[in-house]
Structure 1
């Protein structure tokens, strides 16, 4: 079946929030545990919901740490967020060619809107599924299936694109094809281990996959 629907993760896939996320974690954790956490220690925290991450660190302070993280994250958002190569042009082209476009993210909607507005990508997406909209976050298939339902698409018509194994597994669980991005901060080999159908060297590689030249 011909691909007519593309679903994207946001952080680390469409927009470069890596430094923002790392600094938000380090700022928060160093407040509670001075000098215990270094940059490499927080890389595994990129991807899962904040609640899951902070519960694993200290179940008695979860909401407190989430609030501290989000406060810093919002304050520094427009300073630290940047764009990845060819993302804007690719998404614009897909939109112009009539593809159905959606975002599936583990972030809350207010932060998602900040990133999309900053990068001017908000004009291209028909559907945005955030953590606010689901009971089960990626890698559960619920967010992907909800986006497909809202777009009126079947899994066979879609590709889920992401930088984290949560994205690949969620897409596979939902029955879509999947594409990993080689610019994932966790390393291309890490993502390749989850066997996405495609690996994108840059976002514009997606155009050839879906037949747009």
Structure 2
């Protein structure tokens, strides 16, 4: 599958940054609060591995599975934990990078154009970029607000492809929704995870880097 790609599109969560102690933990803590019991990490992983659960607010609400509880109430509690406030640090600061700035520079030198297609709100995606001093490395960022339909629909990837005028690109993601989205957009997908899906599959981001470089 390795080819002369004219650019690479990255998912952000689980590919560029580790969200196991941020978004995933926010899902666990929020659902634990509303279910009045301790939700296990495995429960969070299971819900996130389901197709259509790319949005973490949706995943949290689905895990709680109580129609009597308003979606906006769940979302508000989630954001309070994730973003924090003046009195308490948010989980958003627990997101170490999985691909270093130096490696991203090497990838950009080789492939010329790097882009991000993320289900995050733009403000939260930009926070990660600025905190890790990654400005200037990505030529395009398409976030939640930029499209109507999120993954597994192809809208996000198609928006990147159109904006960057890609003719032969590849997407790197870590969920079934990422793989389906790429398939619908008619581009190959490198999947990072345990399932046997994607055009190419690796168990870690490090393996992806070695493959691409």
| Aligned pair partner of 2:184 in 173, 176, 182 | 173
1:45-67 alpha-carbon deviations (Å, 9 max, x no partner):
44521343245323441111111
Uncovered stretches (5+) of structure 1, i.e. residues with no partner: 182-187
Aligned pair 1:139/2:147, yes or no? Answer: no
Deviates more, 1:136-145 or 1:163-172: 163-172
1:197 has 2:200 as partner: yes
Alpha-carbon contact 1:11-1:18 (below 8 Å) kept: no
Structure-1 residue corresponding to 2:169? 158
How far is the alpha carbon of 1:158 from its aligned partner? 0.6
Instruction: Give the counterpart of 1:124 among 137, 149, 152.
Output: 137
The answer for unaligned runs of 5 or more in structure 2 is 85-89
Give the TM-score, by structure 1 length: 0.83
Aligned to 1:184: none
Mean Cα deviation higher: 55-64 or 139-148: 55-64
Cα 1:196/1:97, change in 2 over 3 Å: closer
Cα offset, 1:122, TM superposition? 3.2
| CA–CA separation in structure 1 for the residues paired with 2:211 and 2:194 | 23
Name the residue aligned to 2:96: 82
* Distance of aligned partners of 1:207 and 1:9 in 2 relative to their CA distance in 1, 3 Å threshold: same
Greater helix share, structure number: 1
- TM-aligned CA distance change 1:205 to 1:28, over 3 Å: closer
User: SS at the partner of 1:189?
Assistant: coil
Superposed CA RMSD in Å reads 2.2
